[in-house]
Amino acid sequence: MKLLYINVVLLLLSVFIFRCDGSSNPNLALFALETKSPPGIEFSAVVGDSHATCGEDISGHGDSHSSSVTIQHVAGVMPIGLKDLRFYVSGFELVDQDDNIITLDVPNTGVWQYSGVALLDFENGKGSCSGTTETNNLVQATVENKTYKTLRFTLGIPETLNHIDYSVAPSPLNISGLAWGWTMGYRFFVGEFLSNDPVAVGNAAVLHIGSAGCTEPTPGNYSCTNSNRTVIELTPVDGFNPFTQKVQFDLKKAFTGWNISTGSMSCHSMGAMDSNCSAVYPNFGLDYSTGNAGSTAQTVFGIVSK
Protein backbone atom coordinates (compact mmCIF):
# COMPACT_ATOMS: atom_id res chain seq x y z
CA MET A 1 0.00 0.00 0.00
CA LYS A 2 2.83 2.39 0.84
CA LEU A 3 4.56 1.72 -2.49
CA LEU A 4 1.27 2.18 -4.36
CA TYR A 5 0.71 5.53 -2.65
CA ILE A 6 4.21 6.75 -3.60
CA ASN A 7 3.71 5.74 -7.23
CA VAL A 8 0.34 7.51 -7.42
CA VAL A 9 1.87 10.69 -5.98
CA LEU A 10 4.71 10.57 -8.49
CA LEU A 11 2.25 10.07 -11.35
CA LEU A 12 0.22 13.09 -10.29
CA LEU A 13 3.34 15.19 -9.88
CA SER A 14 4.48 14.31 -13.38
CA VAL A 15 1.32 15.92 -14.76
CA PHE A 16 2.33 19.23 -13.23
CA ILE A 17 6.05 18.95 -13.83
CA PHE A 18 5.87 18.77 -17.61
CA ARG A 19 4.24 21.68 -19.37
CA CYS A 20 2.11 21.47 -22.49
CA ASP A 21 5.07 22.54 -24.66
CA GLY A 22 7.17 19.63 -23.35
CA SER A 23 9.41 21.74 -21.10
CA SER A 24 9.85 20.98 -17.45
CA ASN A 25 10.19 22.76 -14.14
CA PRO A 26 13.52 21.65 -12.55
CA ASN A 27 12.38 22.53 -9.02
CA LEU A 28 9.27 20.38 -9.30
CA ALA A 29 11.29 17.59 -10.89
CA LEU A 30 13.71 17.65 -7.95
CA PHE A 31 10.79 17.55 -5.51
CA ALA A 32 9.34 14.54 -7.29
CA LEU A 33 12.62 12.66 -7.04
CA GLU A 34 12.90 13.41 -3.33
CA THR A 35 9.44 11.99 -2.58
CA LYS A 36 10.58 8.51 -3.58
CA SER A 37 12.89 7.02 -0.97
CA PRO A 38 15.81 4.98 -2.32
CA PRO A 39 15.26 1.24 -1.92
CA GLY A 40 17.37 -0.79 0.45
CA ILE A 41 17.67 -1.98 4.03
CA GLU A 42 16.85 0.66 6.64
CA PHE A 43 18.41 0.68 10.12
CA SER A 44 17.61 2.48 13.37
CA ALA A 45 19.37 2.76 16.73
CA VAL A 46 17.84 2.73 20.20
CA VAL A 47 18.89 2.45 23.82
CA GLY A 48 16.22 0.18 25.20
CA ASP A 49 12.99 2.17 24.89
CA SER A 50 14.76 5.42 23.95
CA HIS A 51 16.17 6.65 20.65
CA ALA A 52 19.97 6.80 20.41
CA THR A 53 20.36 10.54 19.84
CA CYS A 54 23.10 13.09 20.42
CA GLY A 55 22.91 16.31 22.41
CA GLU A 56 20.55 15.21 25.18
CA ASP A 57 20.22 12.85 28.10
CA ILE A 58 19.13 9.36 27.13
CA SER A 59 17.08 7.91 29.95
CA GLY A 60 14.08 5.69 30.47
CA HIS A 61 16.01 2.77 29.08
CA GLY A 62 16.33 0.65 32.21
CA ASP A 63 14.24 -1.32 34.65
CA SER A 64 13.08 0.16 37.93
CA HIS A 65 15.58 -0.24 40.77
CA SER A 66 15.37 0.44 44.45
CA SER A 67 17.84 2.80 46.14
CA SER A 68 19.70 -0.21 47.52
CA VAL A 69 20.61 -1.45 44.06
CA THR A 70 23.75 -0.14 42.41
CA ILE A 71 22.92 2.12 39.49
CA GLN A 72 24.37 0.61 36.36
CA HIS A 73 25.10 1.77 32.82
CA VAL A 74 22.53 1.37 30.05
CA ALA A 75 21.47 -1.96 31.52
CA GLY A 76 20.13 0.01 34.48
CA VAL A 77 18.64 3.47 34.92
CA MET A 78 21.70 5.71 34.56
CA PRO A 79 21.09 8.70 32.25
CA ILE A 80 23.74 8.71 29.55
CA GLY A 81 25.03 10.92 26.76
CA LEU A 82 25.84 9.32 23.43
CA LYS A 83 29.36 9.98 22.20
CA ASP A 84 29.73 7.79 19.11
CA LEU A 85 27.77 5.09 17.29
CA ARG A 86 29.01 4.01 13.86
CA PHE A 87 29.55 0.63 12.26
CA TYR A 88 30.36 -1.00 8.93
CA VAL A 89 28.13 -3.68 7.41
CA SER A 90 28.65 -5.88 4.34
CA GLY A 91 27.72 -9.20 2.74
CA PHE A 92 23.94 -8.67 2.56
CA GLU A 93 21.76 -11.65 1.67
CA LEU A 94 18.03 -12.32 1.65
CA VAL A 95 16.49 -15.79 1.78
CA ASP A 96 13.10 -16.05 0.09
CA GLN A 97 10.19 -18.38 0.90
CA ASP A 98 11.64 -21.06 -1.41
CA ASP A 99 15.00 -20.94 0.38
CA ASN A 100 16.68 -19.18 -2.53
CA ILE A 101 19.56 -16.95 -1.42
CA ILE A 102 19.58 -13.50 -3.00
CA THR A 103 22.89 -11.69 -2.68
CA LEU A 104 22.20 -7.96 -2.63
CA ASP A 105 24.14 -5.63 -4.87
CA VAL A 106 25.27 -2.78 -2.63
CA PRO A 107 26.40 -0.18 -5.19
CA ASN A 108 29.04 2.49 -4.76
CA THR A 109 27.31 5.74 -3.81
CA GLY A 110 30.31 8.01 -3.46
CA VAL A 111 29.76 8.66 0.24
CA TRP A 112 28.29 5.85 2.36
CA GLN A 113 28.93 2.73 0.27
CA TYR A 114 31.92 1.26 -1.52
CA SER A 115 32.69 -2.21 -2.86
CA GLY A 116 29.79 -3.84 -1.01
CA VAL A 117 30.55 -2.13 2.31
CA ALA A 118 28.21 0.43 3.89
CA LEU A 119 28.79 2.74 6.85
CA LEU A 120 25.89 3.34 9.23
CA ASP A 121 26.34 6.53 11.25
CA PHE A 122 23.97 7.49 14.07
CA GLU A 123 25.94 10.35 15.62
CA ASN A 124 25.63 13.93 14.36
CA GLY A 125 28.42 15.77 16.21
CA LYS A 126 26.03 17.51 18.63
CA GLY A 127 26.44 17.62 22.41
CA SER A 128 28.86 14.95 23.58
CA CYS A 129 28.99 13.27 20.16
CA SER A 130 32.42 13.53 18.60
CA GLY A 131 31.85 12.76 14.93
CA THR A 132 30.44 14.65 11.97
CA THR A 133 27.07 16.25 11.31
CA GLU A 134 26.21 13.80 8.53
CA THR A 135 24.30 10.64 9.41
CA ASN A 136 23.21 7.55 7.51
CA ASN A 137 20.72 4.81 8.36
CA LEU A 138 20.18 3.21 4.94
CA VAL A 139 22.00 0.54 2.98
CA GLN A 140 20.98 1.31 -0.58
CA ALA A 141 20.28 -1.78 -2.68
CA THR A 142 17.62 -3.09 -5.04
CA VAL A 143 15.06 -5.08 -3.06
CA GLU A 144 11.61 -6.41 -3.89
CA ASN A 145 8.46 -5.50 -2.02
CA LYS A 146 7.80 -8.94 -0.61
CA THR A 147 8.36 -10.96 2.54
CA TYR A 148 11.55 -12.93 2.93
CA LYS A 149 12.38 -15.64 5.44
CA THR A 150 15.77 -14.31 6.48
CA LEU A 151 18.00 -11.26 6.32
CA ARG A 152 21.72 -11.92 6.71
CA PHE A 153 24.67 -9.52 6.83
CA THR A 154 28.14 -9.18 8.35
CA LEU A 155 29.11 -6.63 10.96
CA GLY A 156 32.52 -5.71 9.61
CA ILE A 157 34.66 -5.11 6.55
CA PRO A 158 35.85 -8.03 4.37
CA GLU A 159 39.46 -9.04 4.84
CA THR A 160 40.23 -8.02 1.26
CA LEU A 161 39.53 -4.39 2.20
CA ASN A 162 40.43 -4.39 5.87
CA HIS A 163 44.08 -3.43 5.50
CA ILE A 164 44.02 -0.79 2.80
CA ASP A 165 45.42 2.67 3.51
CA TYR A 166 42.48 4.73 4.78
CA SER A 167 44.23 8.02 3.91
CA VAL A 168 43.84 7.28 0.20
CA ALA A 169 40.80 5.00 0.35
CA PRO A 170 37.42 5.98 -1.14
CA SER A 171 34.54 6.98 1.14
CA PRO A 172 33.36 5.55 3.52
CA LEU A 173 36.70 3.78 4.11
CA ASN A 174 38.57 7.07 4.46
CA ILE A 175 37.48 8.02 8.00
CA SER A 176 40.42 8.32 10.37
CA GLY A 177 38.24 7.80 13.45
CA LEU A 178 37.31 4.33 12.21
CA ALA A 179 40.83 3.24 11.29
CA TRP A 180 43.38 1.47 13.48
CA GLY A 181 46.94 2.42 12.65
CA TRP A 182 48.46 -0.30 14.76
CA THR A 183 46.78 -3.09 12.78
CA MET A 184 46.45 -1.20 9.51
CA GLY A 185 42.79 -2.16 9.75
CA TYR A 186 39.38 -0.77 10.62
CA ARG A 187 37.16 -0.53 13.62
CA PHE A 188 34.12 -2.48 12.45
CA PHE A 189 32.00 -1.18 15.30
CA VAL A 190 32.39 1.94 17.44
CA GLY A 191 30.02 2.54 20.33
CA GLU A 192 30.73 5.07 23.07
CA PHE A 193 28.72 6.88 25.73
CA LEU A 194 29.21 8.89 28.93
CA SER A 195 27.41 8.71 32.24
CA ASN A 196 25.36 11.81 33.05
CA ASP A 197 24.40 10.51 36.46
CA PRO A 198 25.53 12.81 39.32
CA VAL A 199 27.20 9.97 41.23
CA ALA A 200 29.19 8.74 38.23
CA VAL A 201 29.30 11.72 35.91
CA GLY A 202 31.89 11.43 33.16
CA ASN A 203 32.43 7.69 33.48
CA ALA A 204 32.69 6.32 29.97
CA ALA A 205 31.93 3.11 28.10
CA VAL A 206 33.99 2.54 24.95
CA LEU A 207 33.55 -0.49 22.71
CA HIS A 208 35.61 -0.88 19.52
CA ILE A 209 35.36 -4.14 17.59
CA GLY A 210 37.83 -5.00 14.85
CA SER A 211 40.13 -7.81 13.79
CA ALA A 212 42.89 -8.56 16.29
CA GLY A 213 46.22 -10.33 16.43
CA CYS A 214 47.14 -8.86 13.05
CA THR A 215 50.66 -9.11 11.72
CA GLU A 216 52.35 -8.33 8.41
CA PRO A 217 54.67 -11.30 7.64
CA THR A 218 55.57 -9.76 4.30
CA PRO A 219 54.97 -6.18 3.13
CA GLY A 220 51.32 -5.68 2.26
CA ASN A 221 50.26 -9.16 3.35
CA TYR A 222 48.41 -9.21 6.65
CA SER A 223 47.25 -12.06 8.83
CA CYS A 224 44.90 -11.79 11.82
CA THR A 225 44.39 -14.48 14.43
CA ASN A 226 40.94 -13.17 15.44
CA SER A 227 38.61 -12.07 12.67
CA ASN A 228 35.96 -10.65 15.05
CA ARG A 229 33.43 -10.40 12.22
CA THR A 230 29.99 -11.52 13.20
CA VAL A 231 27.36 -12.73 10.75
CA ILE A 232 23.98 -11.37 11.81
CA GLU A 233 21.09 -13.62 10.78
CA LEU A 234 17.57 -12.37 11.42
CA THR A 235 14.65 -14.74 10.85
CA PRO A 236 11.46 -13.20 12.28
CA VAL A 237 8.48 -15.49 12.76
CA ASP A 238 6.46 -13.51 10.23
CA GLY A 239 9.38 -12.88 7.90
CA PHE A 240 11.05 -9.66 6.79
CA ASN A 241 9.75 -7.15 4.24
CA PRO A 242 12.28 -4.34 3.58
CA PHE A 243 9.48 -2.00 2.48
CA THR A 244 7.61 -2.19 5.79
CA GLN A 245 10.29 -3.25 8.29
CA LYS A 246 13.76 -2.19 9.32
CA VAL A 247 16.73 -3.48 11.31
CA GLN A 248 17.03 -2.10 14.83
CA PHE A 249 20.27 -1.90 16.80
CA ASP A 250 20.00 -1.69 20.61
CA LEU A 251 22.92 -0.04 22.42
CA LYS A 252 21.55 -1.20 25.76
CA LYS A 253 21.82 -4.83 24.71
CA ALA A 254 25.28 -4.24 23.24
CA PHE A 255 26.68 -3.15 26.61
CA THR A 256 24.86 -5.64 28.82
CA GLY A 257 27.46 -7.05 31.20
CA TRP A 258 29.27 -3.79 31.94
CA ASN A 259 28.80 -1.49 34.92
CA ILE A 260 30.34 1.99 34.75
CA SER A 261 28.84 3.28 37.99
CA THR A 262 32.24 2.94 39.70
CA GLY A 263 34.56 3.69 36.79
CA SER A 264 35.04 3.78 33.03
CA MET A 265 35.25 0.59 30.99
CA SER A 266 36.63 -0.04 27.52
CA CYS A 267 37.28 -2.75 24.97
CA HIS A 268 39.60 -2.29 21.98
CA SER A 269 39.69 -5.92 20.81
CA MET A 270 43.32 -6.31 21.88
CA GLY A 271 43.39 -9.88 23.13
CA ALA A 272 44.31 -10.92 26.67
CA MET A 273 45.08 -7.35 27.74
CA ASP A 274 41.47 -6.36 27.01
CA SER A 275 39.60 -8.58 29.45
CA ASN A 276 36.51 -6.33 29.51
CA CYS A 277 35.69 -7.50 25.99
CA SER A 278 34.72 -11.00 27.08
CA ALA A 279 31.60 -9.69 28.85
CA VAL A 280 30.14 -7.88 25.82
CA TYR A 281 31.34 -9.89 22.80
CA PRO A 282 28.66 -12.58 23.35
CA ASN A 283 26.02 -9.85 22.92
CA PHE A 284 27.19 -9.71 19.29
CA GLY A 285 27.28 -13.50 18.94
CA LEU A 286 31.09 -13.60 19.14
CA ASP A 287 33.51 -15.70 21.16
CA TYR A 288 36.21 -13.29 22.32
CA SER A 289 38.90 -15.93 22.72
CA THR A 290 38.66 -17.07 19.09
CA GLY A 291 37.04 -14.15 17.27
CA ASN A 292 34.59 -16.60 15.69
CA ALA A 293 30.89 -17.24 16.20
CA GLY A 294 30.16 -18.10 19.83
CA SER A 295 27.70 -20.41 21.50
CA THR A 296 25.38 -17.52 22.36
CA ALA A 297 23.14 -15.97 19.73
CA GLN A 298 23.50 -12.24 19.14
CA THR A 299 20.93 -9.97 20.82
CA VAL A 300 21.86 -6.49 19.56
CA PHE A 301 20.01 -6.55 16.21
CA GLY A 302 16.34 -7.23 15.57
CA ILE A 303 13.55 -6.56 13.08
CA VAL A 304 10.88 -3.93 13.81
CA SER A 305 8.18 -2.11 11.83
CA LYS A 306 9.03 1.18 10.13
Q: Is 18 part of any domain?
A: no
| pLDDT at res. 9 | 38
User: What is the C-alpha separation between 29 and 14, in angstroms, rounded?
Assistant: 8
Q: How far apart are CA 303 and CA 306, in angstroms?
A: 9
Residue 282, pLDDT > 70, answer: yes
Burial status of residue 252 (CB atoms within 10 A of its CB: 0-12, 13-18, 19 or more): buried
Task: Check residue 231 and give its pLDDT.
Answer: 98
Residue 237 covered by a domain: yes
Question: Are the C-beta atoms of 211 and 192 separated by less than 8 Å?
Answer: no
More confident residue, 144 or 73: 144
Q: How far apart are CA 178 and CA 120, in angstroms?
A: 12
Asked if the structure places residue 207 within a domain, the reply is yes
Give the span between the Cα atoms of 234 and 238, in whole angstroms.
11
Helix or strand holding residue 231 (H, E): strand 230-234
- Tell whether the model's pLDDT for residue 11 goes beyond 70: no
Local confidence band at 76 (pLDDT 50, 70, 90 cut-offs): low
25-29, 257-261, 272-276, 300-304: least confident range? 25-29
Distance CA 276, CA 269 (A): 9
Q: Nearest CA to 144 among 108, 100, 113?
A: 100
pLDDT at 60: 65
Predicted local confidence at residue 59, as pLDDT: 87
- Beta-carbon contacts of 198 under 8 Å, excluding residues fewer than 6 positions away, are none
What's the one-letter identity of residue 222? Y
Q: How does residue 144 score in pLDDT terms, banded at 50, 70 and 90?
A: very high
Residue 15 counted as domain residue: no
What's the domain count of the chain? Answer: 1
Whether residue 30 lies inside any domain: the answer is: no
Which residues are CB-contacts of 256 (< 8 A; sequence separation ≥ 6)? 75, 280, 283, 299
Sign of CA pseudo-dihedral 238, 239, 240, 241: negative
Radius of gyration of the chain (CA): 21
Q: Do the beta carbons of residue 252 and residue 78 sit within 8 Å?
A: no
Query: Would you place residue 132 in the very low, low, confident or very high pLDDT band (cuts 50, 70, 90)?
Result: confident
- Determine if residue 55 is left, alpha or beta; phi over 0 gives left, psi from -120 to 50 gives alpha, anything else beta: left
DSSP SS3 for 235 = coil
Query: Cis (ω within 30 of 0) for the bond into 172?
Result: yes
Distance CA 153, CA 189 (A): 14
**Percent of the chain beyond pLDDT 70?**
81
Is residue 217 included in any domain, yes or no?
yes
Mean of the per-residue pLDDT values for the chain? 85
φ, ψ of residue 48 to 5 degrees: the values are: 65, -115
Q: Which ranges of the chain would DSSP assign to H, the alpha helix?
A: 2-17, 26-34, 159-162, 251-254, 277-280
Structural domain harbouring 107:
40-57+74-305
Residue 178 CB neighbours (<10 A): 24
Q: Give residue 133's pLDDT band: very low, low, confident or very high (50, 70, 90).
A: very high
Is-contact 190 122, C-beta < 8 A? Answer: no
8 A C-beta contact, residue 141 and residue 41: yes
Across residues 187-192, what is the average pLDDT? 97
